Amino acid sequence: MTSNRTAEVAGAGIAGLAVSIALAQRGWKVRAYERSPSLRPDGAGIYIWENGLRVLASLGAHDEAVEGCHRGFMRETRDDQNRTVAAAHFAKMPNLRVVSITRMKLLTALSNRARELGVEVVFGTEAVSATPDGEIRLSTGEIRKADLVVGADGINSKIRDSVNLLRKRTPLADGAIRVMIPRRMDERVSDDGRKYIEYWNGMRRILVTPCSDTDTYLAFTTLDTDRPGKTVPIDKSLWKKSFPHLRDHIDRVGEGGRWDLFETIHLKRWHEGRIAIIGDAGHAQAPNLGQGGGCGMMNALALAHYVSTCPTIESGLVDWEQRERPLIEHTQRVSSIYSRVAALPPRMQTVVLTMAGKSRWVLDQRLKAARHLPTGAEHEFR
């Protein structure tokens, strides 16, 4: 596809790289600005569901991203006694894949693909603001003009805020510390060692996620009010007291990690003039469904599709928001509900988790985004 159109993208995270690739594939000349001096893989591991895998395939980054990853076949929720209260057998669900990989692997695959397509990624440069007529101002003082400016600059987006698009930023009750630990040989073959398991005990929970033969990703989640629980580096004796059966995993945690409070972002509109906002900048969600990055990539591909196929960029942006926003907002809502369960008393939690685990309807709501055929990838997967 050829086009003389140009795009300036703020942020080279998951969403920024995905939109850069998708635009370049459609003939756009793309430049992305990343304020960090190199790729910034905060957050240890990441789940990529079927929708995200389809986007990666469409972008031409799938094989490199998933090489050596862990393919999920089952997810369990366990109570404080290590009893399984809910289980989802992904392997038995048709057309539904989920993998877990290290963030670095995902970002590297996206970045390599972007470079291959001629996207210019400028590291160490911050995007400061943008105007609706397509100008972007950089921390260097330079102003660049393009047919499209994309704000993919994360939850504290300067591009979004420079045009006053934020409607609501909602902090949730919980947050997480994410770390990577070495995966032991026996865990590669044991039943529990190959499952995704989330262990609950009151306000605290630990999600154990194998990511490769050598890496396991742990997310220590608790309420924001749990001061000792959100200390970094983690207080090992505290967490071992809550989860004695995970003593061995906790002992392998190093010094790293960061406390991230979960938040949701809702915009007044996803676009203003020639500016579009995507990823956490536009629709951050609680990570309980493992869909923030997946939705960011889906929306990046959809944006590139609409602005490349509609008669004008402006009409493409209108169609894009109209078609894509309902599913993303559904995913944000369902994920936030899960966060509310964390604030319930323990007995109530077990009842809710058990009932939810048995409900086909709840499962369908949780997996709605995962099962979605992303706009722009239809011809490959229909």
Ligand X SMILES: Cc1cc2nc3c(=O)[nH]c(=O)nc-3n(C[C@H](O)[C@H](O)[C@H](O)COP(=O)(O)OP(=O)(O)OC[C@H]3O[C@@H](n4cnc5c(N)ncnc54)[C@H](O)[C@@H]3O)c2cc1C
Q: Is 294 in the site for ligand X (CB under 6 A)?
A: yes
- DSSP code per residue over 201-245: ETTEEEEEEE-SSSEEEEEEEEETT-TGGG-SS--HHHHHHH-GG
DSSP letter, residue 183: P
Closer of 156 and 359 to ligand X (Cβ): 156
Q: Which stretch binds ligand X (CB under 6 A): 111-119, 181-189, 230-238, 291-299?
A: 291-299
Please report how close the Cβ of residue 125 comes to ligand X at its closest, in angstroms: 7
End-to-end CA distance of the chain: 21
Angle at 223 between CA 175 and CA 76, to 5 degrees: 75
Chosen residue from 160, 178, 183, 230 binding ligand X by CB under 6 A: 178
Are the C-beta atoms of 307 and 320 separated by less than 8 Å?
yes
Stretch that binds ligand X, among 29-37, 77-85, 161-169, 338-346 (CB under 6 A): 29-37
Q: Does 334 bind ligand X (CB under 6 A)?
A: no
Q: Which is nearer to ligand X, 100 or 201 (CB)?
A: 100
The phi, psi pair for 208, rounded to 5°, reads -105, 120
d(CA 208, CA 198): 6
Binding string to ligand X for residues 65 to 104, with x set by CB under 6 A, is what?
A: ----------------------------------------
Phi, psi at 83, each rounded to 5°:
-95, 140
State the nearest-atom distance from the C-beta of 178 to ligand X, in Å: 5
Instruction: Using CB under 6 A, pick the residue from 66, 219, 301, 313 that binds ligand X.
Output: 219
Measured from the CB atom, the residue of 15 and 250 that comes closer to ligand X is: 15
What is the C-alpha to C-alpha distance for residues 216 and 184, in angstroms, rounded to an integer? 9
Q: Which of 152, 302, 342, 352 binds ligand X (CB under 6 A)?
A: 152
Instruction: Please identify, among the stretches 42-50, 73-81, 89-97, 320-328, the one whose residues bind ligand X according to the rule CB under 6 A.
Output: 42-50
The answer to the question of residue 187 lying near ligand X (CB under 6 A) is no
CA distances from 44 to 3, 211, 236, 273, 284 (A): 37, 10, 18, 36, 18
Residue 350 CB, shortest distance to ligand X, in Å, is: 23
What is the rounded distance in angstroms from the CA atom of residue 157 to the CA atom of residue 179? 25
Out of 28, 47, 90, 239, the only residue in the binding site for ligand X (CB under 6 A) is 47
Q: How far apart are alpha carbons 208 and 280 in whole angstroms?
A: 24
313 binds ligand X (CB under 6 A): no
Q: Which of 134, 229, 257, 292 binds ligand X (CB under 6 A)?
A: 292
Least distance CB 28 / ligand X (angstroms): 18
CB of 81 to ligand X, least distance (A): 25
Torsion from C-alpha of 360, 363, 369, 374, nearest 10 degrees: -50
Q: Which of 252, 255, 275, 279 is nearest to 265 (CA)?
A: 279
What region does 352 belong to: left with phi over 0, alpha with psi -120 to 50, or beta?
Answer: alpha
Q: Does 34 bind ligand X (CB under 6 A)?
A: yes
Q: Of 209 and 242, which has the nearer Cβ to ligand X? A: 209
- CA Rg value for the chain: 21
* Contact between 41 and ligand X per CB under 6 A: no
Structure tokens at 8: 């300036």
User: With b meaning 16 or more CB within 10 Å and e meaning fewer, what string describes 37-61?
Assistant: eebbbebbbbbbbbbbbbbbbbbeb
Residue 277 lies near ligand X (rule: CB under 6 A): no
Asked if 162 touches ligand X (CB under 6 A), the answer is no
* Total length of the chain: 382
Confirm or reject binding of residue 43 to ligand X (CB under 6 A).
Answer: yes
342 belongs to the binding site for ligand X (CB under 6 A): no
Distance CA 107, CA 113 (A): 10
26/103 with CB nearer ligand X: 103
Minimum CB–partner distance for residue 98 and ligand X (Å): 9
Binding site for ligand X (CB under 6 A): 10-16, 33-36, 40, 43, 46-47, 126-127, 152-154, 158, 176, 178, 219, 260, 279-281, 287, 290-294, 296
